[in-house]
Structure formats: C-alpha cells, structure tokens
C-alpha cells in the first residue's frame, strides 16, 4: 500500500515539473498532473527497456519520468494543434 502512495507522490511531482518545463496551456488539475507523471514514468521505463538501459523488473528514475511526462505533454500539444 505504501508503494502505491509513494508512486502517486512521485508522479505528482514529475507531472508538475513536466508542466513547468513545457510552455503553453496544459490540461487538468492535480489529479491529471499525477496521472501525467505516472504515465510518463511508464513511458520512460518502456523506452529505457527498449533501448537496453533498464533490465526486466527495473523502473525509471525521476528524471526519466519527467522526460516521459514531457513527451506525453508534447503529444497532447500536437494533438490539440491539429484538432483545433
């Protein structure tokens, strides 16, 4: 249970840092920010494993989580640009 709470806290911080790094209007409040950070961590882990940086069972660190969240925000901004 404590691992899940820690994941949510790190996700919230990583999502907030990603929102600070990316210019423009971003979606949602603190829950969306937390989900963005957690999804960024999953994306960073997946990319890291595909490139051979992480072994099976290892997860991304904080910086890679922020990079993953920035990538997701970039995809969101591209999507909004082409649909608006």
Q: What is the pLDDT of residues 20-72, one digit of tens each?
A: 888 877 777 788 888 888 888 888 888 888 888 878 777 778 888 888 889 99
Q: How far is CA 33 from the centre of its chain?
A: 9
Kindly tell me if the per-residue pLDDT of 13 is higher than 80.
yes
Q: What is the pTM of this model?
A: 0.81
Q: How far is CA 68 from the centre of its chain?
A: 5
Mean pLDDT (whole number) for 73-78:
87
Q: What is the DSSP string of 8-58?
A: HHHHHHHHHHHHHHS-S----SHHHHHHHHHHHHHHHHHHHHHTTSS-TT-
Q: What is the DSSP string of 44-74?
A: HHHHHHHTTSS-TT----HHHHHHHHHHHHH
Determine the pLDDT at residue 33.
83
């Amino acid at each position: 249970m404590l691992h899940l709470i820690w994941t949510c806290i790190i996700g919230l911080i990583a999502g907030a840092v990603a929102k600070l790094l990316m210019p423009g209007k971003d979606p949602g409040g603190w829950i969306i920010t937390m989900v963005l950070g957690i999804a960024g961590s999953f994306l960073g882990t997946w990319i890291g494993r595909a490139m051979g940086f992480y072994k099976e069972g290892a997860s991304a660190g904080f910086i890679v989580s922020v990079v993953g969240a920035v990538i997701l925000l970039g995809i969101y901004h591209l999507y909004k640009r082409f649909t608006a």
